């Protein structure tokens, strides 16, 4: 199902991200057809060599590989539902952000209309697209990914996570959890240190060093999570809780927010109450794996 002759591509949706995607395909030499609901957004790309589709139907007819990047999944349906007969035989690569349920539902919808479907997640901002720094995750049938991997590689560092269409969205939100947790932790420390006259820029290199050290713990901690065995090799949860109390007390004394320190300690306290205090930090996976509802 590759457009072996031309490696052409159609891009639907030319917002900030869609324009960056189309530009990267053009730069890599792929004949690129573009369509956007607001047609004027095609102008600059057409000046750079893109082919403007006069309608979404023309865009779908232009080739096998169709990359869609619009605001949300509702927008995909608003744009494509009236024209589903033209999806037959296409490979729809959906780089719109969403969740795993939407990804799986959209895969079933596309398959029902004769299309192959890959869901994707862009872990980058528009200026990074087309560079190795742009990480783009895909999930769905491996053969569909492999058939167009060479063309998709124009966008950045592309990878295939597995056949389950929901995986790209799951990795996306898992990455967001990591990103916001690290940033919140840094902001907590910054807020405390500012009360002692230390500014954010002074603290940042130290925070960076700590973040790097903690990142190095992940492979061993992952082994503990996967094996379900959490021997206290370097520190027990009970020892960690004493330090959590210092964090909470310092935050209170400094007059800054105690929300994050309390959350950190509440989760660990629950595990200790469940008799896991002599085990190592990753034992908290059992707290994180429990539904909060
Ligand atoms: N921009 C970023 O940094 C992030 C990085 C991570 C992934 N996201 C996701 O990419 C999707 C698009 O984001 P965007 O930044 O390109 O968003 P906008 O610039 O706001 O463009 C939105 C496009 O969607 C079109 N659109 C909206 N509704 C409809 C509809 N009903 N029918 C057809 N097209 C629709 C809109 O068209 P128009 O307003 O220009 O006519 C734009 O082309 C998004 O999922 C991010 O989470 C980007």
Average pLDDT of the segment spanning 178-205: 98
Alpha-carbon Rg for the chain, nearest whole angstrom, is 24
Ligand 1 pocket, 13 CB below 6 A? yes
User: How far is the centre of ligand 1, averaged over its atoms, from the C-alpha of 187 (Å)?
Assistant: 30
Residue 103 pLDDT > 60: yes
The rounded distance, in Å, linking the Cα atoms of 37 and 56 is 9
* ipTM score above 0.95: yes
Mean pLDDT of the chain: 96
Residue bearing tokens 């990795």: 171
Expressed in angstroms, the distance from the first to the final Cα of the chain is: 45
Task: Report the pLDDT value the prediction gives residue 288, as an integer from 0 to 100.
Answer: 97
Query: HSE of 150 in the Cβ direction (CA atoms, 13 Å)?
Result: 11
Task: Report the pLDDT value the prediction gives residue 238, as an integer from 0 to 100.
Answer: 96
Q: What is the pLDDT of residues 4-14, one digit of tens each?
A: 445 999 999 99
Query: How confident is residue 1, by pLDDT bands cut at 50, 70 and 90?
Result: low
Q: What is the pLDDT of residues 220-275, one digit of tens each?
A: 999 999 999 999 999 999 999 999 999 999 999 999 999 999 999 999 999 999 99
DSSP-derived letter for residue 203 is H
Cβ-based burial of 225 (10 A; exposed 0-12, middle 13-18, buried ≥19): middle
Q: What is the pLDDT of residues 73-82, one digit of tens each?
A: 999 999 999 9
Nearest residue (by CA) to ligand 1, atom 6, is 122
Q: What is the pLDDT of residues 126-185, one digit of tens each?
A: 999 999 999 999 999 999 999 999 999 999 999 999 999 999 999 999 999 999 999 999
**Tokens, residue 147:** 């058939």
Ligand 1 pocket, 96 CB below 6 A? yes
Query: How confident is residue 292, by pLDDT bands cut at 50, 70 and 90?
Result: confident
Ligand 1 pocket, 76 CB below 6 A? no
Nearest residue (by CA) to ligand 1, atom 29, is 75
**Tokens, residue 68:** 């869609």
Residue 65 pLDDT > 90: yes
Q: Which domains does the chain have, with CATH numbers?
A: 9-163 (3.40.50.720), 195-288 (1.10.1040.10)
Task: Report the pLDDT value the prediction gives residue 184, as an integer from 0 to 100.
Answer: 98
Task: Report the pLDDT value the prediction gives residue 47, as an integer from 0 to 100.
Answer: 98
């Amino acid at each position: 199902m590759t457009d072996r002759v031309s490696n052409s591509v159609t891009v639907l949706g030319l917002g900030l991200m869609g324009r960056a995607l189309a530009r990267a395909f053009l730069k890599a030499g792929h004949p690129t057809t573009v369509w956007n609901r607001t047609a004027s957004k095609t102008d600059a790309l057409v000046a750079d060599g893109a082919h403007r589709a006069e309608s979404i139907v023309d865009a779908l007819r232009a080739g096998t590989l169709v990359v869609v990047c619009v605001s949300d999944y509702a927008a995909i349906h608003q744009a494509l539902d009236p024209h589903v007969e033209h999806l037959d035989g296409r490979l729809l690569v959906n780089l719109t952000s969403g969740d795993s349920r939407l990804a799986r539902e959209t895969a079933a919808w596309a398959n029902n209309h004769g299309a192959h479907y890959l869901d994707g997640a862009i872990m980058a901002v528009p200026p990074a697209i087309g560079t190795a720094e742009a990480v783009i995750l895909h999930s769905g049938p491996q053969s569909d990914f492999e058939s167009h991997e060479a063309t998709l590689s124009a966008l950045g560092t592309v990878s295939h996570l597995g056949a389950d269409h929901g995986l790209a969205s799951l990795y996306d939100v898992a990455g967001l959890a990591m990103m916001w947790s690290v940033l919140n932790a840094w902001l907590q420390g910054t807020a405390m240190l500012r009360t002692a006259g230390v500014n954010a820029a002074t603290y940042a290199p130290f925070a960076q060093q700590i973040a790097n050290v903690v990142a190095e713990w992940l492979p061993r901690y992952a082994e503990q999570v996967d094996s379900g065995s959490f021997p206290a090799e370097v520190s027990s949860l009970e020892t960690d809780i004493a330090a959590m109390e210092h964090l909470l007390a310092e935050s209170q004394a400094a007059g800054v927010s105690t929300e994050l320190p309390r959350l950190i300690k509440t989760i660990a306290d629950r595990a200790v109450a469940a008799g896991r205090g002599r085990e190592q930090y990753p034992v908290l996976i059992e707290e994180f794996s429990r539904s909060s509802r």
